Chains A and B, each alone.
Chain A
Amino acid sequence: MAERDPSFQTDALIAEDIDAYLEQHQHKSLLRFITCGSVDDGKSTLIGRLLYDSKMIFEDQLSALESDSKKVGTQGDEIDFALLVDGLAAEREQGITIDVAYRFFTTEKRKFIVADTPGHEQYTRNMVTGASTADLAVILVDARKGVLQQTRRHSYLVHLLGIRHLVLAVNKMDLVDYDQATFDSIVADYAAFAEEVGIETFTPIPISGFKGDNITASPSPNTPWYNGLSLIDHLETVEVANTAAQERSFRMPVQWVNRPNLDFRGFAGLITDGTVQPGDPVRIVPAGKTSKIKSISTFDGDLDEAGAGQSVTLMLEDEVDCSRGDVIAAADDPPEASDQFCATFVWMDEEALKPGRGYWLKLGNQMVTATVQPPKYEIDVNSLEHLAAKTLKLNAIGVAEFSTDRPITFEAYAKSRQLGGFILIDKFTNATVGAGMIEFSLRRAQNVHWQPTTITREDHAALKNQTPRVLWFTGLSGSGKSTIANEVEKQLALMNRHTFLLDGDNVRHGLNKDLGFTETDRIENIRRIGEVAKLMADAGLIVLTAFISPFRAERRMVREMLPEGEFVEVFVDTPLEVAEKRDVKGLYKKAREGQLKNFTGIDSPYEAPEHPEIRVNTVDMTPAEAANYIIQQILPLK
Chain B
Amino acid sequence: MHTLTHLERLEAESIHIFREVAAETEKPVMLYSVGKDSSVMLHLARKAFYPAPPPFPMLHVASGWDFQALLDHRDKTVEEYGLDLIVAQNEQAEEQGINPFDTGSALYSQAQLTDPLKKALSEHGFDAAFGGGRRDEEKARAKERVFSFRSASHRWDPKNQRPELWNLYNTKKNKDESIRVFPISNWTELDIWQYIALEKIDIVPLYLSQKRPTVTRDGMLLVVDDDRFRLEKGEQPVERSVRFRTLGCYPLTGATESKATDMNAIIQEMLLATGSERQGRAIDKGQSASMEDKKQEGYF
Contact = CB atoms under 8 A, between A and B. Distances in A.
A129 B140 contact: no
Contact of A132 (B48, B166, B188): B166
Contacts of A423: 165, 168, 170
Contacts of B11: 311
Contact of B50 (A15, A84, A313, A432): A313
B289 A89 contact: yes
B211 interface: no
Nearest to B158: A88
A22 B197 contact: yes
Contacts of A243: 3
A19 B276 contact: no
A104 B135 contact: yes
Contacts of B52: 258-260
Interface in A434-468: 435
A58 B275 contact: yes
Interface in B272-291: 272-276, 279, 288-289
State which size class the interface on B falls in.
35 or more
Interface string B252-269: 000000000000110110
A299 B50 contact: yes
B264 A125 contact: no
Nearest to B46: A299
Contacts of B159: 90
A299 B16 CA distance: 14
A60 B50 contact: no
A18 B265 contact: yes
A18 B1 contact: no
Interface string A52-71: 00001011110010001000
B12 A311 contact: yes
Contact of B20 (A255, A310, A360): A255
Contacts of A15: 268, 272
B173 interface: yes
A365 B171 CA distance: 12
State which size class the interface on A falls in.
35 or more
A324 B47 CA distance: 19
A14 B6 contact: no
Given A64-B288, A104-B136, A418 B166 contact: yes
A309 B16 contact: no
A106 interface: yes
Contacts of B164: 129, 432
B51 A88 contact: no
Contact of B264 (A22, A29, A92): A22
Contacts of B186: 102, 104, 113
A619 to B, nearest CB: 29
A498 B23 CA distance: 43
Interface in B1-49: 1, 3-13, 15-16, 19-20, 22-23, 46-49
Contacts of B158: 88, 90, 99
Contacts of A89: 289, 292-293
A9 B160 CA distance: 40
B276 A429 contact: no
A625 B50 CA distance: 61
B173 A430 contact: yes
Contacts, number: 200
Contacts of A425: 170, 172
A324 B1 contact: no
A565 B173 CA distance: 24
Contacts of A59: 274-275
B143 A100 contact: yes
A417 B186 CA distance: 20
Interface in B120-175: 135-136, 139-140, 142-143, 158-159, 162-168, 170, 172-174
B194 A87 contact: no
Contacts of A100: 143, 163
B271 interface: yes
A27 B271 CA distance: 17
A64 B289 CA distance: 12
Contact of A102 (B51, B142, B289): B142
A514 interface: no
A83 to B, nearest CB: 9
Nearest to A272: B167
B19 A255 contact: yes
B8 A310 contact: yes
Contacts of A392: none
A11 B3 CA distance: 27
B1 A305 contact: yes
Nearest to A310: B12
A84 B172 CA distance: 34
Given A60-B276, A125-B163, A85 B142 contact: yes
Contacts of B190: 25, 106
A22 B194 contact: yes
23 contacts: A14-B272, A18-B265, A26-B194, A26-B198, A30-B6, A30-B9, A30-B10, A60-B275, A68-B288, A86-B139, A101-B143, A104-B136, A125-B163, A126-B163, A240-B3, A268-B49, A270-B15, A275-B1, A299-B46, A307-B1, A311-B11, A360-B172, A365-B20
Given A21-B271, A61-B276, 12 more contacts: A25-B190, A27-B5, A60-B279, A86-B139, A89-B292, A101-B142, A103-B136, A132-B166, A255-B19, A307-B4, A348-B163, A430-B174
Interface of B: 1, 3-13, 15-16, 19-20, 22-23, 46-52, 135-136, 139-140, 142-143, 158-159, 162-168, 170, 172-174, 185-186, 188, 190-191, 194, 197-198, 264-265, 267-268, 271-276, 279, 288-289, 292-293
Nearest 3 CB-CB pairings of A with B: A260-B52, A30-B6, A89-B289
